[in-house]
């Protein structure tokens, strides 16, 4: 069973990055010269995904435009012999099918995923939350697909969460399979630290079965009239089962200003042509 489809919810308002996000989608925040969404799509394609659905809003057309060819710009660069610039332009992934559907109101992650039902049909599929940018040697979704192929169960990416941040995550009750791999016995959404089952929280990568849609349809909205995903994941535990996987990689929550800056630093530190100068300049900054 090959997993070939990805759903990427991008309809969020990005209020933590106002006023920038008043005009520019948060998914287009630059990590130096590349927007966040580029990294997400690149991870998907590198993992064997060839169909991607953006659950988007009517104000975010520029995300789709980013992945479309721009013949006029390419001609300009060729005519001016700006070969290096043309090479940079060619870094934008285009070897996949891109679809979109509008989420008219921000009704939660569960609702966003439900909108993908016709796109997914009867296939297992991946979900990427684009705030979570993960630097890794092997793409995280590819790591998770390998787990799925072995255990034939849905998979959620997990990581150890600092105690002070536990109340911002869905926290699992784990049953160990081996180091870094767990059967999920239960999930509690955004608990107080003293109420948490563990320090293992679910982060923004999933492999889900088509049965998830029926579970979402039966969910109740929360106090903010949103349909969240956690209740549906809990139902999967009792049907298909659910595996929590501690991935190999470094995650940065680019929806958080501090972690967004860390993502830029991390990216600069692994770019060979920038590393030496970058480290030198950083030392100057933190000398004071």
**pLDDT tens track for 161-179:** 999 999 999 999 999 999 9
Residue position matching structure tokens 């992945």: 67
pLDDT tens digit string along 72-106?
999 999 999 999 999 888 888 888 899 999 998 88
Domain at 203, CATH number: 3.90.550.10
Distances (CA, A) of 92 to 39, 45, 205: 10, 12, 22
Among candidate residues 126, 156, 139, 147, the one with its CA nearest the CA of residue 42: 139
Q: Which domain holds residue 13?
A: 5-285
pTM for this model (two decimals): 0.92
What's the total number of domains in the chain?
Answer: 1
Range with lowest mean pLDDT among 8-22, 204-218, 267-281: 267-281
CB distance 62 to 108 below 8 Å = no
């Amino acid at each position: 069973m090959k997993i070939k489809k990805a759903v990427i919810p991008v309809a969020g308002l990005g209020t933590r990055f106002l006023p920038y996000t008043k005009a520019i989608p948060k998914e287009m925040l630059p990590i130096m010269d590349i927007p966040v969404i580029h990294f997400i799509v690149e991870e998907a394609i590198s993992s064997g995904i060839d169909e991607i659905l953006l659950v988007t809003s009517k104000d975010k057309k520029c995300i789709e435009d980013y992945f479309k060819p721009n013949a006029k710009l390419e001609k300009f660069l060729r005519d001016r012999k700006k070969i290096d610039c043309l090479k940079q332009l060619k870094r934008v992934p285009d070897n996949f099918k891109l679809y979109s559907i509008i989420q008219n109101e921000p009704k939660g992650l569960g609702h966003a995923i439900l909108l993908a039902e016709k796109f997914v049909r009867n296939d297992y599929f991946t979900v990427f939350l684009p705030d979570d940018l993960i630097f890794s040697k092997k793409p995280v979704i590819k790591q998770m697909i390998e787990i799925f192929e072995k255990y034939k169960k849905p998979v959620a990416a997990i990581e150890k969460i600092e105690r002070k941040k536990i109340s911002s995550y869905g926290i699992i009750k784990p049953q160990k399979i081996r180091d870094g791999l767990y059967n999920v016995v239960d999930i509690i959404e955004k608990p107080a630290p003293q109420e948490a089952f563990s320090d293992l929280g679910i982060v923004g990568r999933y492999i889900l079965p088509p049965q998830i849609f029926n579970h979402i349809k039966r969910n109740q909205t929360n106090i903010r009239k949103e349909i969240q995903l956690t209740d549906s994941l809990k139902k999967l535990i009792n049907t298909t089962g659910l595996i929590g996987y501690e991935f190999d990689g470094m995650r940065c929550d680019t929806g958080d200003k501090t972690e967004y800056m860390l993502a830029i630093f991390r990216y600069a530190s692994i770019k060979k042509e920038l590393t030496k100068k970058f480290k030198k300049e950083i030392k100057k900054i933190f000398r004071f």
